Structure formats: C-alpha cells, structure tokens
C-alpha cells in the first residue's frame, strides 16, 4: 500500500484552519499558505513516522525477554536521574538501557538497543501525505529538517526513518535534531538550539507537529510559523482507544507481538474528516478496516492455492453477504488474474440440494425437528399445498409429529431425493454459468462465515460434477463439527481459542446486514442456472442507509491505498488480522451511539427460504429484561445484537458481557445478585391464607425481582410493600409460565400476561412511583384465568426509594 496519496480524490481541498490547525489530508498543500518559507520543519513520530499500534509503549511487548513494565520503569528511572543529578529533561536510549540492564556488558546493551530499534522499524511507516509535503518542499528548494523529542540520537533516528519508510524518504531530509542530544524537549527550549544551527530567520521556518504543547507552544515563541497536525477527531480517538482496549482482551501479551495493532489508523486519519454522513463514517471507520484486512488475507490465500494446486483460482463471493467483500476486492485489485464471481448459493438451496440419499433426509429431519414446521417442510422441498396442510394443524407438536411420520415413508423419501437431485443439477448449472471453471481449477468460496454451512452441503457436489477443488475462505470461522473440508478463516481456531471465536460470532448479524445487497435470497434456479429469488422484505430505508455505509467502506479502500509508505511489512496478514479482530470486537461489544443511530431501524433477514425478519436490536426490551432478570438472563437465541441493547446501561455492563464471553466465564445470575430483599407475601385461596417470605433478588441498577409461585393459578397474592417501604418504584407485575421463566426462549417474554393489581393503602404519585400510606399497605394480585392448567409465577419488579423507618 505504497501508492502516493491523492487527497483531492478523498475530499475537496479545504483551507487551513484559522486556529493554526491542519488536518492530515491537507498536509500536501501546507506550504501554499507560507510562500515565504525557506525551511520545512517536521516533528517525527505521529507526523512523519506513524506506528501500527495505539501507543508508543505497545512496541515494548516485542522486546523479549524484557517486559513492557520493565522497559517503562527503566525509562522513568533514567529520566529521574538525569533531571535530579544533571539538570537535564531528556535522556538517551543508552541511559535507559543502563538502568534496564545494569549488569550487562556494553555489547549486550548495544544488541538490546538494536533489537528495540528494529522492532520500531518493523512497525513504523511514513504517513504518505507528509512524504508528499516533503517532496513538494524539496521541489521548491526548501530545506527539510526533522525536530523530534526522542531518546534516539540523530543517526539512529535517520536510520529508523530509512529502515521503516525507505531510503527515498530519508534522502528528502537535510538535517535531524533530537532532544536527547541537547537534554531538553521542544517544550523546554530545544528550538533555540535548532535556530542557532540553521541559516534561516525564524519567520522563514514552518514547523508542523501533532503535539500542541511541544510543536506549537514550544516552538512559536521563537518566532517560527507553526501548524498543529490534528491526527484524529475526538470520536476517532475514543474509537481507537476502545479498539486497543478490546485488543488487550482478545490477544495474549506473551506471544512476542506488539500490543494493540491498529494498522488502519493512517487511513482513518486521512479520510474521516471529509465524511459528514453518519452511515458513510460507519462504513469507513468499521467495515473499511475489516474488509480491507480480509482482502489482504484472501489475496495471500489465493496465491497459496494457486501454488499448491495449480489451475485457476476462481473467487466465488457468496451472495448475499459476499456482496460488499466483492466490491472491496474490485476496489483494491480486481485484476483478471483474480476473477471475481457473484455466486448465489443460499443456505436454503445448498441444503435443499444435499438430500441425495434417504439417510440424508432422515438425519436432517431428526436434527431439525422442533423448528417451525412450515419452514422445515419447505426446506424438505414439500409442495405449497403440502405445506399448507401441515400449517392447518394449529398445534405445533401435532404438526411436527405429522411431518416426522410423513418423512419416514419410503414414498416421501423418494420424492425428496428426486427433487433434491434436480435442484442440485440446477445449482451446478448456476456455478457453470457464473464461473465456468475448467477441470483442475479451484473454487474459492468467499463468505463472512461463520460455520461454512453452504460449503458443507455443496462441496462434494461441486467437486464431483465440475472436477474442481473447493476451498472455503471465511472472515470468521467457528465450525460446529469437523467435516474435513478445505476451510480456513481470517479469524479462526488457528489463531484464536474457542471462547474468543464464540464471542466474535455471537453478534455477527450486524456485520451480515451491512455487507449484503438489496436482492432477495435465492430459492431455486432455472434449468440454465439463472437464480430464482424471493422478494426482499427489507425496507427501502434500510437499503438506503446500507448503501451509504457501503460507500464509506469503499472510500476507506481508496484511502488505504494512499495512506502509508513503508519499506517492508514482514507479517502484513498477521498485523491486519489482529487489527480486524479488535475492530470487530469493539463494534460487537462496545458500539458507539452514532453507530447505533445508523443501525437502529435495521432488521435481520433470517434467510431460510422464508420472509421472516427479526429486529437487529431492541433497547426497550433489553431494559425490561435487565430489570426483570439481570444481565446473565439476557442470553436468548433471538437477540441479534445484545451489546447494542445494553448501550444505555453503561460501559461496565458491556465490558462484563465481553469478558464473560471472551474467557468463557462460568458465571450465573446468582454471582451478580449481590443483594436480596425478603418481601412478605400473603397467599390466599379457598382454604385460607398464609404469610410467607419471598426473597427478591437484585437484578440491575437497583431493581429487584420477586418470583412468586402461584401454582396452577390457585393463589391470590398480597404483596406487603408497606411493611418495607414508604416509597418505591414498580416497573411491572406480570404472570409467566414456570417453563418460560426457566427457558432461554426469546419469545417467552411475549407470552407474559400483565397483572391487574388492587391497591390497598398504596397510591401512585407519579407514573411508576408509589407511596405506601402505612406498614399495612399492600397490592392484591388475583391470578389470571387459564385455558389449560399450568404452573404460573408472578414476577414483581420493583426498586426501593425510601425504606420504612424500623422496617
């Protein structure tokens, strides 16, 4: 990614800021405001040289056997000694290592210093707009100097620039000034030393740097013209900080790699200031890095497949989720050597084409029985009339048993197998139509993941019919079994443990919905392979927002190509893998308000041959669930994007969820229920009344839930709130079947029945806020009428406000 930057393509040229600030994409034109300048003075780190990590100290993780803590402590000690003993504000790297390795020989220290500088060179690169500014300065005949606050000496810094950015960049520099040589930083008067050695008046010098205190406040008093390089907007800084935090949770610090690898920083800085639409910003900042990193890995994998297997490697982007990865591929390469094809093979058609034997039918029915009967029958290629007959059996259990019995009949099995084999041939015709592979070629299936279900069902079919090799290459791969197929994931078990993969896949629906396209899911093919799609059920509004998100993603791809210049990147794939995992993890568990505003109207298409959609997230439902059952009872399968629902509940809730998922913590509801309240309840039925104490467990944010057993709607319950409280909030009183309360079925909440209480001595002073007149005040809750007997619970969710004196 060493192409020269084209700032004009990213954003119309902006004038420099009135306050003396300059944005990254404006750097190439900085000299236009200062035609009198004779010297271009630049800070080094985060102005010319940028790192692949979040903070400079992240490099220290690579200095084995030295730990980051040891390296930081040694520098602190060296600075303390220099200031107290020598009156110097700066130190050299040699002084640091003298503290770090007090008993080492000079040769051993020199080797350790060389290793640190090599680690810096490996993970530094030049910021392309700054390099372009330097080239323009030299073309105008200006001197170019570097003035840096660093513990390196001038020769070491110049060599670092050459080793990381290239000799051509180092050749643009006339002189290098470093704080370690003068014992003072820029904020401590270093620029006075610079001026004594330059043959230029202060007013003829333009200095640019990212640190306002050092590069403006420390330089401008000498009469030098200054510009403050604003690397990132505040929202970007926060996002990168959160990504670095998530990276610390995802990646072990003992593997010899630097910490918090974020290789997308430069591209974000270059293009984000020009993006005003929230959807475009979301695509640029999140999907852009994810899919650019994925594309880098895919190129590497395609090259390996070509070397190992010969023939041509066909990139089959699996529609619909493969739509945006295909657009990024076209933007970043799109060469004839990497033919890209849009292959419409849905889970529905792949599974439907896999019933080639009776045993395949039997296993599928037995595995899936219990799911929605109409969807299951449609997947088994029943006719519309047959599906309608099953739906007429309004009892789900009866319909499921009828379907199972029917599928055990030999005639039904023959019918399914015949229809499946015909569908399989139409599917093969589709692949021939879009890719036309030759025998011996490789079909590289490109998809987001995360189990490779489509490949599981069509791999053998395509190999047999087309005489090709099939290789699945996924963004995320977390297989539920071991099918023994050629599969790999950019993020997979070769690089992450099972708990981490489970955490990464838990909220993948958000990624699917922004990567897809407006076409409906394929449900069949014509004889020539032309797809037959069902109508899309996603709203026009969602489609328009998604289009803006995808435009931002492609804009990142353009910026990425011109953001950096580096001499070498020994493990580009590994670096981007860690960066992508951090971006995805941050989005999935710590989404920001502006991102949720983009996604708040989105629905998720479940894509099983039906038109069913599910809301991507529902904050109100999550708030109710938290009050009623607490954080660890919000694990129902239908929750597409749970952390988004928790966004209004504070960072600790989402960090807790991330930690529990990432580390597979065996925590339960009771581990977080740190308090309880003993609520007196009178139970009454035809046989009399009795007083019991029901423990109300703390759930979230001061709320409690009392779970009151009512038998088969047998008891009337009198909740003695007045005994405990003068004031309290009541969120809800509702009846729920005991089986629903104990399950993780997402639809269980929909089956709750609101209770209709009778107040005695309790009045509602404001919505949800109640005053108990005395200690005898209570709410009487009669049981509901039942169509069929079942065990019921009364859930009373309340929050104490003012306890009763002496309670």
Q: First vs last Cα of the chain: how many Å apart?
A: 70
pLDDT in tens, 683-726: 998 888 999 999 999 888 899 999 999 988 888 999 999 999 99
Residues 443-455: what's their mean pLDDT? 93
Cβ atoms within 10 Å of 256's Cβ, excluding its own: 10
The more confident residue out of 778 and 630 is 778
pLDDT at 8: 36
- Per mean pLDDT, which of 21-35, 75-89, 394-408, 738-752 is the most reliable? 21-35
Q: What percent of the chain has pLDDT over 90?
A: 62
Residue 636: pLDDT band (50, 70, 90) is very low
- Whether the Cβ atoms of residue 694 and residue 707 lie closer than 8 Å to each other: yes
Say whether pLDDT at 6 is over 70: no
The more confident residue out of 498 and 10 is 498
Burial environment of residue 629 by CB neighbours within 10 A (0 to 12, 13 to 18, 19 or more): buried
Partners of residue 476 on adjacent β-strands:
491
The more confident residue out of 15 and 259 is 259
Residues 740-749: what's their mean pLDDT? 65
Residues 50-63: what's their mean pLDDT? 91
The DSSP secondary structure of 445-491, one letter per residue, reads: EEE--SS-HHHHHHHHHHHHHH--EEEEEEEE---SS----SEEEEE
What angle is formed at CA 35 by the lines to CA 30 and CA 38, rounded to 5 degrees?
95
Residue 337: pLDDT band (50, 70, 90) is low
Q: Is there a cis peptide before residue 97, judged by omega within 30 degrees of 0?
A: no
As a whole number of angstroms, the distance between CA 519 and CA 535 comes to 8
Helix (H) or strand (E) holding 697: strand 688-698
The more confident residue out of 333 and 410 is 410
Residue 645: pLDDT band (50, 70, 90) is confident
pLDDT in tens, 174-214: 999 999 999 999 999 999 999 999 988 999 999 999 999 99
Q: Is there a cis peptide before residue 320, judged by omega within 30 degrees of 0?
A: yes
Q: What is the pTM of this model?
A: 0.87
- Whether the Cβ atoms of residue 119 and residue 63 lie closer than 8 Å to each other: yes
pLDDT at 685: 87
Residues 420-436: what's their mean pLDDT? 96
Helix (H) or strand (E) holding 223: none
pLDDT in tens, 69-105: 999 999 999 999 998 878 889 999 999 999 999 999 9
Residues 667-680: what's their mean pLDDT? 80
Task: Please provide the average confidence, as pLDDT, over all residues in the chain.
Answer: 88
Contacts 24+ apart (CB under 8 A), 603-607: 603/513, 603/537, 603/538, 603/539, 603/542, 604/509, 604/512, 604/513, 604/640, 605/513, 605/516, 605/521, 605/536, 605/537, 605/538, 607/320, 607/346, 607/347, 607/348, 607/521
The alpha carbon of 210 is separated from its chain's Cα centroid by a whole number of angstroms, namely 28
Does residue 320 sit in helix, strand or coil?
Answer: coil
Residues 27-49: what's their mean pLDDT? 95
pLDDT at 42: 97
């Amino acid at each position: 990614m060493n192409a020269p930057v084209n700032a004009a393509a990213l954003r119309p040229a902006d004038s420099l800021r009135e306050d003396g600030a300059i944005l990254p994409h404006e750097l190439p034109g900085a000299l236009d405001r200062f035609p009198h300048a004779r010297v271009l003075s630049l800070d080094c780190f985060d102005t010319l040289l940028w790192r692949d990590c979040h903070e400079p100290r992240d490099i220290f993780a690579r200095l084995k056997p030295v730990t980051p803590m040891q390296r930081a402590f040694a520098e602190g000690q060296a600075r303390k000694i220099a200031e107290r003993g020598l009156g110097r504000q700066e130190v050299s790297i040699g002084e640091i290592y003298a503290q770090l390795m007090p008993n080492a020989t000079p040769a051993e220290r020199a080797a350790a210093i060389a290793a640190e500088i090599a680690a810096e060179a490996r993970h530094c690169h030049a910021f392309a707009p700054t390099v372009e500014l330097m080239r323009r300065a030299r073309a105008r005949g200006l001197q170019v100097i570097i003035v840096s606050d660093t513990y390196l000496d001038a020769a070491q810094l110049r060599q670092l620039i050459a080793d990381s950015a290239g000799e051509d960049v180092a050749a643009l520099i006339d002189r290098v000034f470093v704080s370690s040589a003068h014992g003072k930083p820029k904020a401590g008067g270093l620029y006075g030393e610079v001026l004594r050695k330059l043959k230029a008046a202060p007013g003829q010098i333009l200095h640019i740097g990212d640190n306002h205190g050092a590069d403006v406040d420390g330089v401008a008093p000498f009469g030098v013209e200054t510009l403050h390089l604003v690397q990132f907007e505040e929202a970007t800084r926060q996002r990168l900080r959160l990504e670095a935090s998530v990276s610390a949770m995802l990646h072990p610090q003992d593997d010899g790699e630097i910490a918090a690898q974020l290789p997308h920083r430069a591209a974000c800085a270059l293009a984000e200031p020009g993006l005003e639409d929230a959807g475009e910003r979301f695509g640029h900042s999140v999907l852009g890095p994810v899919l650019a990193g994925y594309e880098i890995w895919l190129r590497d994998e395609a090259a390996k497949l070509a070397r190992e297997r010969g023939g041509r490697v066909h990139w089959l982007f699996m529609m619909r989720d493969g739509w945006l990865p295909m657009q990024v591929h076209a933007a970043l390469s799109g060469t004839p050597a990497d033919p890209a094809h849009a292959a419409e093979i849905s889970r529905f058609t792949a599974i439907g084409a896999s019933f080639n034997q009776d045993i395949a039918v039997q296993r599928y029915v037995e595995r899936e029985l219990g799911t929605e009967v109409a969807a299951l029958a449609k997947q088994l290629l029943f006719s519309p009339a047959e599906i309608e007959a099953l739906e007429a059996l309004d009892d789900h259990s009866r319909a499921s048993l009828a379907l199972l019995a029917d599928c055990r009949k030999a005639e039904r099995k023959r019918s399914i197998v015949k229809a499946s084999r015909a569908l399989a041939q139409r599917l093969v015709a589709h692949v021939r139509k879009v890719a036309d592979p030759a025998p011996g070629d490789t079909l590289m299936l490109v998809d987001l993941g995360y189990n490779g279900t489509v490949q599981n069902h069509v791999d053998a079919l395509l190999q047999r019919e087309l005489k090709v090799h099939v290789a699945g290459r996924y963004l995320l791969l977390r297989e539920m079994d071991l099918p023994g197929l050629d599969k790999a994931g950019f993020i997979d078990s070769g690089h992450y443990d099972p708990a981490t993969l489970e955490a990464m896949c838990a909220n993948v629906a958000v990624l699917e919905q922004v990567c897809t396209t407006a076409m409906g899911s394929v449900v069949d093919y014509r004889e020539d392979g032309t797809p037959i799609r069902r109508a899309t059920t996603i709203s026009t509004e969602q489609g328009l927002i998604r289009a803006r998100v995808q435009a931002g993603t492609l804009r990142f791809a353009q910026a990425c190509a011109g953001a950096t210049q580096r001499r070498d990147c020994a493990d580009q794939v590994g670096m981007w893998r860690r960066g992508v995992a951090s971006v995805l993890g941050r989005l999935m568990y710590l989404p920001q308000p502006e991102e949720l505003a983009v996604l708040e109207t989105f629905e998720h298409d479940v894509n099983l041959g039906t038109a069913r959609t599910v809301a991507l997230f529902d904050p109100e439902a999550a708030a109710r669930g938290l009050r009623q059952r607490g954080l660890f009872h919000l694990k129902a399968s239908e929750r597409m994007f749970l952390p988004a629902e928790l966004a209004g509940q504070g960072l600790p809730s989402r960090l807790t969820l991330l930690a529990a998922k990432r580390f597979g913590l065996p925590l339960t509801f009771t581990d977080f229920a740190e308090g309880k309240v003993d609520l007196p309840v009178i139970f009454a039925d035809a046989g009399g009344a009795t007083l019991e104490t029901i423990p109300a467990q703390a759930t979230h944010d001061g709320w409690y839930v009392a779970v009151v057993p009512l038998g088969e709607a047998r008891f009337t319950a009198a909740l003695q709130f007045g005994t405990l409280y003068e004031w309290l909030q009541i969120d809800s009183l509702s009846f729920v079947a005991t089986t629903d309360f104990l399950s993780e079925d997402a639809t269980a909440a929909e089956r709750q029945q609101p209770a209709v209480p009778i107040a005695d001595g309790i009045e509602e002073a404001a919505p949800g806020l109640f005053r108990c007149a005395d200690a005898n005040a209570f709410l009487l809750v009669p049981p509901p009428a039942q169509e069929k007997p079942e065990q019921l619970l009364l859930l009373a969710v309340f929050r104490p406000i003012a306890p009763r004196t002496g309670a």
